[in-house]
Amino acid sequence: MFLPEPYRKIALDGIWNNNIVFGQNLALCPLLAVTGTATNGLGMGLATLVVIIASNGLISVTRHLIPNEIRIPIFVLLIAALVTLVDILMNAWAHELYKVLGLFIALIVTNCALLGRAEAFASKQPVRHALWDGLMMGLGFALVLVALGAAREISASGTLFANASLLLGESFSFLEVTVIPDYKGFLLMALPPGGFIMLAFLIVGKRLIDQKLAERKVPVAVLTPVNAEE
Protein backbone atom coordinates (compact mmCIF):
# COMPACT_ATOMS: atom_id res chain seq x y z
CA MET A 1 0.00 0.00 0.00
CA PHE A 2 2.19 2.80 -1.23
CA LEU A 3 -0.60 4.91 -2.58
CA PRO A 4 -0.85 8.61 -1.75
CA GLU A 5 -3.86 9.80 0.21
CA PRO A 6 -6.75 9.88 -0.42
CA TYR A 7 -6.31 7.04 -2.93
CA ARG A 8 -5.08 4.70 -0.23
CA LYS A 9 -8.11 5.33 1.97
CA ILE A 10 -10.50 4.99 -0.98
CA ALA A 11 -8.89 1.68 -1.92
CA LEU A 12 -9.04 0.31 1.63
CA ASP A 13 -12.64 1.46 2.03
CA GLY A 14 -13.73 -0.07 -1.25
CA ILE A 15 -12.10 -3.43 -0.82
CA TRP A 16 -12.34 -4.01 2.91
CA ASN A 17 -13.53 -1.43 5.48
CA ASN A 18 -16.56 -0.07 3.67
CA ASN A 19 -17.03 -2.90 1.19
CA ILE A 20 -20.39 -2.72 -0.62
CA VAL A 21 -21.54 -6.03 0.87
CA PHE A 22 -19.63 -6.30 4.16
CA GLY A 23 -19.58 -2.65 5.14
CA GLN A 24 -22.71 -1.17 3.59
CA ASN A 25 -24.87 -4.33 3.28
CA LEU A 26 -26.01 -3.11 -0.14
CA ALA A 27 -26.57 -4.95 -3.41
CA LEU A 28 -27.76 -8.13 -1.71
CA CYS A 29 -30.36 -8.85 -4.40
CA PRO A 30 -27.93 -9.34 -7.29
CA LEU A 31 -25.43 -10.83 -4.86
CA LEU A 32 -27.64 -13.68 -3.70
CA ALA A 33 -29.28 -14.15 -7.09
CA VAL A 34 -26.20 -14.93 -9.14
CA THR A 35 -23.65 -16.47 -6.79
CA GLY A 36 -24.65 -20.08 -7.35
CA THR A 37 -21.24 -20.60 -8.95
CA ALA A 38 -17.95 -18.74 -8.86
CA THR A 39 -18.13 -18.18 -12.62
CA ASN A 40 -21.48 -16.43 -12.39
CA GLY A 41 -20.16 -14.34 -9.52
CA LEU A 42 -17.19 -13.31 -11.63
CA GLY A 43 -19.43 -12.39 -14.56
CA MET A 44 -21.66 -10.23 -12.41
CA GLY A 45 -18.60 -8.72 -10.73
CA LEU A 46 -17.00 -7.70 -14.03
CA ALA A 47 -20.24 -6.25 -15.41
CA THR A 48 -20.84 -4.25 -12.24
CA LEU A 49 -17.24 -3.05 -12.17
CA VAL A 50 -17.52 -1.50 -15.63
CA VAL A 51 -20.86 0.14 -14.96
CA ILE A 52 -19.97 1.52 -11.52
CA ILE A 53 -16.78 3.17 -12.85
CA ALA A 54 -18.75 4.73 -15.71
CA SER A 55 -21.59 5.89 -13.48
CA ASN A 56 -19.24 7.35 -10.85
CA GLY A 57 -17.32 9.21 -13.55
CA LEU A 58 -20.43 10.53 -15.27
CA ILE A 59 -21.99 11.76 -12.04
CA SER A 60 -18.78 13.37 -10.86
CA VAL A 61 -18.38 15.23 -14.17
CA THR A 62 -21.91 16.64 -13.96
CA ARG A 63 -21.96 17.16 -10.19
CA HIS A 64 -22.00 20.98 -10.37
CA LEU A 65 -25.01 20.88 -12.66
CA ILE A 66 -27.13 18.71 -10.40
CA PRO A 67 -29.26 20.59 -7.84
CA ASN A 68 -29.56 18.93 -4.47
CA GLU A 69 -33.36 18.78 -4.58
CA ILE A 70 -33.57 16.67 -7.74
CA ARG A 71 -30.34 14.70 -7.49
CA ILE A 72 -31.99 11.29 -6.97
CA PRO A 73 -34.12 11.34 -10.16
CA ILE A 74 -31.09 12.50 -12.14
CA PHE A 75 -28.86 9.75 -10.70
CA VAL A 76 -31.50 7.14 -11.45
CA LEU A 77 -31.91 8.50 -14.97
CA LEU A 78 -28.15 8.49 -15.62
CA ILE A 79 -27.60 5.00 -14.22
CA ALA A 80 -30.58 3.52 -16.05
CA ALA A 81 -29.53 5.13 -19.34
CA LEU A 82 -25.96 3.93 -18.87
CA VAL A 83 -26.96 0.35 -18.10
CA THR A 84 -29.32 0.28 -21.08
CA LEU A 85 -26.58 1.64 -23.36
CA VAL A 86 -24.13 -1.02 -22.19
CA ASP A 87 -26.84 -3.63 -22.67
CA ILE A 88 -27.62 -2.59 -26.25
CA LEU A 89 -24.01 -2.05 -27.31
CA MET A 90 -22.89 -5.38 -25.87
CA ASN A 91 -25.75 -7.19 -27.55
CA ALA A 92 -24.70 -5.73 -30.89
CA TRP A 93 -20.90 -5.81 -30.73
CA ALA A 94 -20.00 -8.45 -28.14
CA HIS A 95 -22.82 -10.87 -28.70
CA GLU A 96 -21.05 -14.00 -27.41
CA LEU A 97 -20.20 -12.25 -24.17
CA TYR A 98 -23.69 -10.82 -24.02
CA LYS A 99 -25.25 -14.27 -24.11
CA VAL A 100 -23.36 -15.08 -20.91
CA LEU A 101 -23.42 -11.69 -19.15
CA GLY A 102 -26.65 -10.29 -20.59
CA LEU A 103 -28.70 -11.51 -17.68
CA PHE A 104 -26.41 -9.76 -15.21
CA ILE A 105 -26.35 -6.43 -17.05
CA ALA A 106 -30.10 -6.03 -16.69
CA LEU A 107 -29.79 -6.87 -12.98
CA ILE A 108 -27.35 -4.00 -12.44
CA VAL A 109 -30.22 -1.50 -12.70
CA THR A 110 -31.51 -2.93 -9.43
CA ASN A 111 -28.10 -2.56 -7.81
CA CYS A 112 -28.55 0.11 -5.17
CA ALA A 113 -24.79 0.18 -4.61
CA LEU A 114 -24.43 2.31 -7.73
CA LEU A 115 -26.92 4.86 -6.47
CA GLY A 116 -25.25 4.64 -3.07
CA ARG A 117 -21.83 5.51 -4.47
CA ALA A 118 -23.30 8.28 -6.62
CA GLU A 119 -25.00 9.81 -3.61
CA ALA A 120 -22.32 9.29 -0.99
CA PHE A 121 -19.17 9.82 -3.02
CA ALA A 122 -19.22 10.70 -6.72
CA SER A 123 -21.52 13.69 -6.38
CA LYS A 124 -19.10 15.37 -3.95
CA GLN A 125 -15.65 14.43 -5.28
CA PRO A 126 -13.41 15.31 -8.22
CA VAL A 127 -13.57 13.01 -11.23
CA ARG A 128 -10.32 11.12 -10.63
CA HIS A 129 -11.28 10.27 -7.05
CA ALA A 130 -14.72 9.19 -8.21
CA LEU A 131 -13.29 6.93 -10.93
CA TRP A 132 -10.84 5.38 -8.45
CA ASP A 133 -13.66 4.87 -5.95
CA GLY A 134 -15.73 3.17 -8.64
CA LEU A 135 -12.85 0.86 -9.50
CA MET A 136 -12.19 -0.05 -5.88
CA MET A 137 -15.84 -0.47 -4.87
CA GLY A 138 -16.37 -2.56 -8.00
CA LEU A 139 -13.34 -4.71 -7.20
CA GLY A 140 -14.47 -5.17 -3.61
CA PHE A 141 -17.90 -6.22 -4.80
CA ALA A 142 -16.44 -8.59 -7.40
CA LEU A 143 -14.21 -10.19 -4.77
CA VAL A 144 -17.18 -10.88 -2.49
CA LEU A 145 -19.20 -12.24 -5.41
CA VAL A 146 -16.41 -14.63 -6.40
CA ALA A 147 -15.75 -15.66 -2.78
CA LEU A 148 -19.42 -16.33 -2.10
CA GLY A 149 -19.86 -18.06 -5.46
CA ALA A 150 -16.80 -20.23 -4.84
CA ALA A 151 -17.89 -21.18 -1.30
CA ARG A 152 -21.39 -22.09 -2.50
CA GLU A 153 -20.15 -23.94 -5.56
CA ILE A 154 -17.66 -26.04 -3.61
CA SER A 155 -20.17 -26.95 -0.93
CA ALA A 156 -23.00 -27.57 -3.40
CA SER A 157 -21.30 -29.55 -6.13
CA GLY A 158 -17.61 -29.94 -5.24
CA THR A 159 -16.40 -28.00 -8.28
CA LEU A 160 -14.86 -24.55 -8.70
CA PHE A 161 -15.25 -22.19 -11.66
CA ALA A 162 -17.30 -24.72 -13.62
CA ASN A 163 -18.01 -23.43 -17.16
CA ALA A 164 -15.49 -20.59 -16.75
CA SER A 165 -14.38 -21.18 -20.33
CA LEU A 166 -17.89 -20.25 -21.52
CA LEU A 167 -17.45 -16.85 -19.88
CA LEU A 168 -13.78 -16.06 -20.43
CA GLY A 169 -12.87 -18.16 -23.45
CA GLU A 170 -11.12 -21.52 -23.89
CA SER A 171 -7.78 -20.25 -22.57
CA PHE A 172 -9.28 -19.95 -19.10
CA SER A 173 -10.43 -23.57 -18.89
CA PHE A 174 -7.54 -24.20 -16.45
CA LEU A 175 -9.67 -22.42 -13.83
CA GLU A 176 -12.19 -25.24 -13.88
CA VAL A 177 -11.30 -27.48 -10.98
CA THR A 178 -13.03 -30.38 -9.32
CA VAL A 179 -12.21 -29.69 -5.68
CA ILE A 180 -13.91 -32.72 -4.13
CA PRO A 181 -13.99 -35.74 -6.48
CA ASP A 182 -17.06 -38.01 -6.29
CA TYR A 183 -18.90 -35.42 -4.21
CA LYS A 184 -22.55 -36.33 -3.78
CA GLY A 185 -23.62 -32.70 -3.73
CA PHE A 186 -25.28 -30.56 -1.11
CA LEU A 187 -28.21 -29.04 -2.93
CA LEU A 188 -29.21 -26.49 -0.28
CA MET A 189 -26.12 -24.42 -1.02
CA ALA A 190 -27.08 -23.95 -4.68
CA LEU A 191 -30.53 -22.69 -3.69
CA PRO A 192 -31.29 -19.20 -2.32
CA PRO A 193 -31.22 -20.22 1.38
CA GLY A 194 -27.67 -21.47 0.86
CA GLY A 195 -26.77 -18.01 -0.37
CA PHE A 196 -28.03 -16.41 2.83
CA ILE A 197 -26.31 -18.98 5.03
CA MET A 198 -22.97 -18.71 3.25
CA LEU A 199 -23.16 -14.90 3.22
CA ALA A 200 -23.69 -14.96 6.98
CA PHE A 201 -20.56 -17.11 7.38
CA LEU A 202 -18.54 -14.71 5.22
CA ILE A 203 -19.73 -11.68 7.19
CA VAL A 204 -18.90 -13.42 10.48
CA GLY A 205 -15.45 -14.23 9.07
CA LYS A 206 -14.87 -10.60 8.14
CA ARG A 207 -15.97 -9.40 11.59
CA LEU A 208 -13.66 -11.93 13.29
CA ILE A 209 -10.69 -10.75 11.25
CA ASP A 210 -11.53 -7.13 12.08
CA GLN A 211 -11.74 -8.06 15.78
CA LYS A 212 -8.37 -9.81 15.71
CA LEU A 213 -6.83 -6.80 13.98
CA ALA A 214 -8.32 -4.45 16.58
CA GLU A 215 -7.07 -6.63 19.47
CA ARG A 216 -3.59 -6.64 18.04
CA LYS A 217 -3.60 -2.86 17.99
CA VAL A 218 -4.86 -2.35 21.58
CA PRO A 219 -1.84 -3.81 23.49
CA VAL A 220 0.49 -1.54 21.55
CA ALA A 221 -1.50 1.49 22.60
CA VAL A 222 -1.59 0.38 26.24
CA LEU A 223 2.06 -0.64 26.42
CA THR A 224 3.50 2.60 25.21
CA PRO A 225 2.70 4.63 28.37
CA VAL A 226 3.93 1.77 30.60
CA ASN A 227 7.24 1.75 28.83
CA ALA A 228 7.40 5.49 29.15
CA GLU A 229 7.09 5.30 32.95
CA GLU A 230 10.06 3.00 33.39
Partner 1 sequence: MKIDPATVEHWKKQAAIYKEFVINWLEPANLERLRPLLEFQTGILAGFALIASVLLGVTNCSTEGTIQRRLQEDLQNSLAEVVPADLYDNDLLQDTLTIPSANYNIGTNETTVYIAKKFGKVTAVSFKFTAPDGYSGAINMIMGVDRDGNILGVRVLSHKETPGLGDKIEVAKSNWILSFVGRSLDNLTPTQWAVKKDGGEFDQFAGATITPRKSVQAIYRGLQLFKEHQAQLINP
| Interface residue list for partner 1 (CB under 8 A) | 36-37, 64-70, 73-74, 77-78, 80-81, 84-85, 88-89, 91-93, 95, 99, 156-157, 163, 166, 185, 187, 190-191
The neighbouring-strand residues paired with 159 are 178
Residue 148 CB partners (closer than 8 Å, separation 6+): 31, 35, 41, 195, 198, 199, 202
Min dist CB 136 to partner 1, Å, is 26
d(CA 202, CA 195): 10
By the 8 A CB rule, do 169 and 44 touch? no
Min dist CB 65 to partner 1, Å, is 6
Through-space distance between the first and last CA atoms of the chain, rounded to whole angstroms: 35
Q: Is 170 helix (H, G, I), strand (E, B) or coil?
A: helix
Closest to partner 1 by CB, 22 or 98: 98
Closest to partner 1 by CB, 36 or 138: 36
d(CA 133, CA 138): 8
Closest to partner 1 by CB, 36 or 134: 36
Closest to partner 1 by CB, 82 or 131: 82
d(CA 11, CA 104): 25
Closest to partner 1 by CB, 65 or 228: 65
Min dist CB 150 to partner 1, Å, is 15
* Phi, psi of 81, deg, nearest 5: -65, -40
Min dist CB 199 to partner 1, Å, is 17
Rg of the chain (C-alpha set): 20
Min dist CB 60 to partner 1, Å, is 13
Closest to partner 1 by CB, 100 or 112: 100
Min dist CB 19 to partner 1, Å, is 25
